[in-house]
Structure 1
């Protein structure tokens, strides 16, 4: 039985279905569900940093944090409505380390639920190599939900 389940939360349209699958699995297993929202920080080369005002960088980071708050509200409401014990983890990491960070969190859970990368999404919190890297490096079971379709569990 799975007692501690991790689900990657982002702002892609497919996240709604991924969360629905995670809620169904958590309810069936009577498991604790952790929502993981990764805040990517873009590494700006020093030679370009001078040309970009700090206010613009701060606004971009604040916009990402605001998206995280919206996602957290949706996650908490869905878990409360489903009667599932839950927690929220929002982590800042380099944009190039999203998959590695997700894999690190996956190691501490019995099951990780990720979404297949949607090439049309454009969501900076979702990267194409995340499912592959987490499957290969976490050492724990991973359920990958396709980005198209609805899935009864």
Structure 2
């Protein structure tokens, strides 16, 4: 079991190189293939709108420039993969906005690696991946990498946010190939007494047993907090020196607007470690 195809978002941000390096390390663990996905940022619908308002020739020039920018990003990706001596990789260029392109590519991979939005970054809005949109609509789990910090795989100290939900179950199952390499896995259950029907008499015990059958040793930690769970989760991650957080992504979408749950929103905004999410 492993991630045989990992899709990584490639754009012009300064964080792309670190994101690609981490994705390459994950691919090497499972002897898989790394796919660098770069989007021009201009969808067919947007192109048609530009052609109407700007004129066909000017619109064609804009999309040619956007495509060349994406190609340049992919050339840097390929150079980095060669420098990393990665045996299997490929580039894909799509005429689409970043979020939609990544959602599409998620269907053909096992994991999507993308970056947390840097509010001070110079990247064009059309190049931004919008992690919450991708996490909510992706066919596969997503690994969101913070825009600050340095991270390495295999991850050694994994923190799992367990609340008995379908989303958390999917995230835990997706993270098994990463947890198999970890030296320590902690299953954190917050305020289990508030939802006894979901957790049972021994919160976390059933999931710990499930993971044990995969050869993963798990410590269950029951936590009680009066602050929001997202903040408590990030604080606990810092206290335990975790280098990967695994959690479900909660919310719903209405057209293009994403209404995230409070925990998911807090983590995506304030994350201090890579987060593997599934919806």
TM-score when normalising by structure 2: 0.48
CA distance in 1, matches of 2:79, 2:90: 12
Q: Which has the higher contact order (CA 8 A, sep 6+)?
A: 1
Aligned to 1:20: 21
Aligned to 1:64: 66
Aligned to 1:135: 135
Q: Residue 40 of structure 1 aligns to a residue in which SS?
A: coil
- Pair 1:84 & 2:87 matched: yes
Aligned to 1:126: 128
What value does the CA root-mean-square deviation take over the aligned residues?
2.3
Which of 1 and 2 has greater Rg?
A: 2
- Pair 1:39 & 2:33 matched: no
Q: 1:55 to 1:139 in 2, by over 3 A?
A: closer
Q: Residue 120 of structure 1 aligns to a residue in which SS?
A: coil
CA distance in 1, matches of 2:18, 2:134: 20
Aligned to 1:114: 114
Q: 1:49 to 1:143 in 2, by over 3 A?
A: same
The one-character-per-residue Cα deviations of 1:69-99 (angstroms, maximum 9, x if unpaired) are 2111111122223233011110002x4xx32
Structure 2 alignment gaps of length 5 or more: 154-279
TM-score when normalising by structure 1: 0.83
Q: Would you say how many aligned residue pairs link Structure 1 and Structure 2?
A: 147
Q: Residue 41 of structure 1 aligns to a residue in which SS?
A: coil
Moved runs in structure 1, 4+ residues, more than 4 A? 44-48
Structure 1 alignment gaps of length 5 or more: none
